[in-house]
Amino acid sequence: MAYVVVNKQRPTTVNDAKEWWGLTDHAASHLVRLLAVCPGVAVSSGRRSPERNRAVGGVAGSLHLEGRAVDLTGTRRRLEHAAWHAREESRTPGRTGPQEVLMESDHLHLGW
């Protein structure tokens, strides 16, 4: 299953994020919380099949394969803002922030 979604790039509930992007409960809850405070970014990729992962140049063992990663698009400034918020989750007591925060040339990759 490729989990390609059209016009549903900003889920507002955990169930939407799980259904639309094939995310785990944990990743979906972080994504929804992040999108609520980071306007101007959208999800471009969530869970991937091994075939889709290879086709887009994903690494072996990618968290996308487990539904634990998303790629976000937006302006560079908006993506940097989202990356800052994601990193702050790691510093908040009782919260588990992302394992991966990678700013790529055209997107932000987050993995939980």
Reported as a pLDDT band with limits 50, 70 and 90, residue 55 is: very high
Q: For 17-30, how does the pLDDT look when each residue is reduced to its tens digit (9 = 90+)?
A: 999 999 999 999 99
pLDDT digits (tens, 9 = 90+) for 73-90: 999 999 999 999 999 987
Q: Which CATH number fits domain 14-111: 1.10.3720.10, 3.40.50.970, 3.30.1380.10, 3.40.50.170?
A: 3.30.1380.10
pTM (two decimals):
0.88
Strands 69-73 and 42-45, sheet pairing:
antiparallel
Coil/strand/helix, residue 108? strand
Q: Using CA atoms, how far apart are residues 13 and 8, in angstroms rounded to an integer?
A: 12
- Secondary structure element (H or E) that encloses residue 101, with its range: strand 100-103
| Overall average pLDDT of the 48-66 stretch | 96
If you search the block for the tokens 């991937």, which residue do you land on?
A: 48
Domain borders along the chain are 14-111
pLDDT value at position 10?
Answer: 78
- State the average pLDDT for the chain: 90
